[in-house]
Amino acid sequence: MSSSRKIRVGVVGVGFLGRLHAEKYSKIEGAELVGVTDANPKRAGEIASEYGTKAFASHKELFGLVDAVSVVTPTESHCPISLDFLSRGVDVLVEKPIALNIGEADRMIAEAARTGRVLQVGHLERFNAAIAALEGRVEGPWFLDALRASPFPNRSTDVDVVLDVMIHDIDIVLDVVRSKIESVTAVGRTMVSGKADMASARLTFEGGCVASITASRVAREKVRSLDIYQSGRDGKSPAVLSVDFSAQELSVSKPSGAGAGEEPLCHEAISVTKCDSLMEELRSFVACCAARSAPFVTGEHGRDALAVAAMIQASIAENA
């Protein structure tokens, strides 16, 4: 594929998030939005009209017309739709979670490898500017505390809160700690959807690091935060790195060394150049498709996050 030619892209599923994919692709210089499709033909037509592209009745009508697609459909269809495209030599960005189960994820990863296609998973927070600013700052983490809560979403919930919400922080925690998990304990309950709408998990890693991850889609207010406690090493002071995902802010708190009666901690706001995380994610995907390079968030990353999510779900069921 010539790197000078625009990447022809399509969007499969144009609900709330899929519409945003279509919007961003229509603005990316290196991409040409060929078309969209949705289970609701009226919706597909409306989005196609809004972004100056064509509506298709089925994702199969995009075969031969696109170089790459975003799969933004209910989780149960991620695997079959992605395989349809990967097997035909089309690069795929599939929204999180990668699939319903590990077996499906493995099939997708194997097919991408067999055909030499890009398979990127939509773990959006990897492109958050505050997370990018963590690079080179995490040293010796011993405890991570993640909280992601929001009011009940005005959309369908085909999966529980673990796969819908918590998986964002599972992926970030795995990327920060980069160690094997020794044990998982979790609790969760349903309130509205018939599936777990609130869950809290404790992950213990080899080496002793522990992560507490709490997710709720039945909260009164929206909170998306991560605190990383590090013990300090090589003569450095212990510190807490605090991420506000929504505000894209990062701060560092350290002992001030002050005397009695003075402020014991000093706080530093780290300079962060805020960005449109979804735009950055899709630009990265298009660039990988053009350069034939590995994506920032691979199928393997998506599989790893899904595997931990499955462990959390099993613990919730055991403790119900």
Q: Are residues 13 and 101 in the same domain?
A: yes
Report which residue type is found at 303: R
Q: Are residues 97 and 161 in the same domain?
A: no
Over the chain, what is the mean pLDDT? 95
Report which residue type is found at 2: S
Which range of residues forms the domain containing residue 190?
126-275+309-319
Pairing of strands 141-149, 210-216: parallel
> Which single residue is written with the structure tokens 């522990």?
210
For residue 34, the domain's CATH number is 3.40.50.720
Q: Are residues 184 and 44 in the same domain?
A: no
Q: Tens digit of pLDDT for each residue in 27-83?
A: 999 999 999 999 999 999 999 999 999 999 999 999 999 999 999 999 999 999 999
Q: Are residues 283 and 191 in the same domain?
A: no
Pairing of strands 223-230, 239-244: antiparallel
Residues 6+ apart with CB under 8 A from 265: 253, 254, 255, 256
In a domain, 1, yes or no: no
Region 244-251: what's the mean pLDDT?
98
Q: Are residues 44 and 11 in the same domain?
A: yes
Q: Tens digit of pLDDT for each residue in 101-118?
A: 999 999 999 999 999 999
Distances (CA, A) of 196 to 51, 191, 205, 212: 36, 7, 25, 17
In a domain, 2, yes or no: no
| Chain centroid to CA 136 | 21
Residue 125 has pLDDT above 80, yes or no: yes
In a domain, 97, yes or no: yes
Q: Tens digit of pLDDT for each residue in 140-158?
A: 899 999 999 999 987 767 8
Q: Taking a C-beta distance cutoff of 8 angstroms, is the pair 192, 198 a contact?
A: no
Q: Tens digit of pLDDT for each residue in 216-225?
A: 999 999 999 9
In a domain, 304, yes or no: no
Provide the token pair at 223: 């909170």
Q: Taking a C-beta distance cutoff of 8 angstroms, is the pair 299, 119 a contact?
A: yes
The number of distinct structural domains making up the chain is 2
Residues in the chain, overall count: 320
Q: Are residues 136 and 115 in the same domain?
A: no
d(CA 233, CA 236): 5
pLDDT-derived band of residue 185, with 50, 70 and 90 as boundaries?
very high
Amino acid 232: pLDDT? 73
Q: Are residues 269 and 141 in the same domain?
A: yes
Look at 138-142, 162-166, 234-238 and tell me which has the smallest mean pLDDT. Answer: 234-238
Q: Are residues 314 and 224 in the same domain?
A: yes
Amino acid 154: pLDDT? 73
For residue 216, the domain's CATH number is 3.30.360.10
Q: Are residues 257 and 291 in the same domain?
A: no
Q: Are residues 145 and 265 in the same domain?
A: yes
pLDDT-derived band of residue 234, with 50, 70 and 90 as boundaries?
low
The residue with greater pLDDT, 156 or 255, is 255
d(CA 45, CA 35): 10
* Strand residue runs (E) in 38-73: 54-56, 68-71
**DSSP structure class, residue 59:** G
